[in-house]
């Protein structure tokens, strides 16, 4: 039975650490039911509130998920390594491959709920793309899943005049995606900038990404620019914060 003394972690954290170790060691695997409140009370001789706190800690860390009326289960998932420079290389999309192949590797991935429309540019989009306010843009929204788990929502904005009549305005933009099509139009991306921040999800994002309570999201805002630094795309991405490792290489 864990006993917290002055200066040591609270009992519920000690219990959570024991459960976490069982998950990380493989003793408890993805989808396994974690011992419930009654079992933890009996095993550790603690009050129900303490057992509940221990389980809530794992849920808030994103490594467990509570299923109403059933229990708490391991939410095991091998994080994707999102290598910023490699996934955006011309070598990738120039050969007709999609950016997501760099992230998912040999793991099964899907792109679903693709929606394409022409609309007035929101103010921040017009500013990023150096367009007059309310200039028309093509908006492409999609959701990405790996191993049937939704991981990312992405919305791209491109100047409507620039991409008019091209497959970029269609649901299926063709091999290599929109960057390959921009290259065919004579506006190949040559530079990228990304801004990243972490926040808690909105209720809609939490539902769409099926996030357990307490799981943060990663906001990535990317601007694609041509060789002469003309912005041709703004991409706003919302990532499941528990499912990614962000990897960047830099020269000193």
pLDDT for the residue 181: 93
Residue for token pair 């933890």: 40
80-83 and 109-120 as β-strands: parallel, antiparallel, unpaired?
Answer: unpaired
pLDDT for the residue 113: 86
Question: Over the range 191-208, which residues count as b (16 or more CB within 10 Å of their CB) and which as e?
Answer: ebeeeeeeeebeeeeeee
Question: What is the pTM assigned to this prediction?
Answer: 0.74
Q: Is 135 helix (H, G, I), strand (E, B) or coil?
A: coil
In whole angstroms, how far apart are CA 118 and each of 13, 133, 137, 156, 169? Answer: 51, 15, 6, 12, 8
Report the largest interatomic distance among the alpha carbons of the chain, rounded to a whole angstrom. 70
CB of 212 within 8 A of CB of 75? yes
pLDDT for the residue 190: 92
Same domain, 19 and 67: yes
Same domain, 90 and 131: yes
pLDDT for the residue 73: 87
Same domain, 231 and 152: yes
> Residues near 220 by Cβ (< 8 Å), separated by ≥ 6?
194, 195, 196, 235, 236, 237, 239
> Residues near 25 by Cβ (< 8 Å), separated by ≥ 6?
none
pLDDT for the residue 32: 87
Q: What is the CATH number of the domain that holds 27?
A: 1.10.10.10
Same domain, 108 and 216: yes
Range of the structural domain that residue 36 is part of: 11-74
pLDDT for the residue 212: 75
The count of domains in the chain is 2
Residue 24 C-alpha from the chain's centroid: 22
pLDDT for the residue 157: 98
pLDDT for the residue 160: 97
CB of 177 within 8 A of CB of 93? yes
Q: What is the CATH number of the domain that holds 232?
A: 3.40.1410.10
Same domain, 36 and 118: no
- What pLDDT tens digit does each residue of the chain (252 aa) get? 555 555 567 899 999 999 999 988 888 887 789 999 999 999 999 999 999 999 998 888 778 888 888 888 887 667 777 776 666 666 666 666 666 666 767 777 888 889 999 999 999 999 999 999 889 999 999 999 988 889 999 999 999 999 999 999 999 999 889 999 999 999 999 999 999 999 999 999 999 998 877 789 999 999 999 999 999 999 999 999 888 888 777 667
- Determine, yes or no, domain membership for 234: yes
The CA-CA-CA angle for residues 106, 108, 113, to 5°, reads 140
> Which of 67, 69, 73 lies closest to 33, judged by CA?
73
pLDDT for the residue 94: 66
């Amino acid at each position: 039975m864990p006993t917290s003394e002055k200066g040591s972690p609270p009992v519920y954290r000690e219990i959570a650490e024991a459960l976490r170790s069982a998950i990380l060691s493989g003793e408890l695997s993805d989808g396994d039911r974690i011992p419930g409140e009654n079992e933890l009370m009996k095993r550790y001789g603690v009050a129900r509130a303490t057992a509940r706190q221990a389980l809530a800690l794992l849920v808030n860390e994103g490594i467990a998920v509570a299923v109403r009326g059933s229990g708490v289960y391991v939410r095991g998932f091998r994080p994707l390594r999102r290598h910023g420079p490699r996934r955006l290389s011309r070598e990738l999309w120039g050969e007709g491959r999609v950016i997501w192949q760099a992230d998912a590797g040999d793991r099964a991935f899907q792109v679903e709920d693709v929606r394409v429309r022409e609309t007035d540019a929101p103010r921040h989009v017009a500013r990023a793309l150096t367009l007059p306010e309310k200039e028309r843009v093509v908006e492409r929204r999609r959701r990405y899943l790996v191993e049937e788990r939704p991981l990312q929502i992405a919305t791209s904005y491109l100047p409507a005049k620039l991409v008019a009549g091209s497959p970029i305005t269609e649901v299926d933009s063709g091999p290599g995606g929109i960057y390959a099509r921009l290259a065919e139009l004579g506006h190949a991306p040559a530079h990228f900038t990304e801004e990243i921040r972490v926040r808690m999800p909105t209720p809609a994002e939490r539902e769409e990404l099926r996030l357990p309570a307490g799981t943060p999201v990663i906001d990535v805002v990317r601007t694609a620019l041509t060789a002469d630094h003309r912005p041709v795309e703004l991409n706003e991405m919302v990532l499941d914060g528990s499912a990614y490792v962000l990897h960047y290489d830099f020269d000193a």
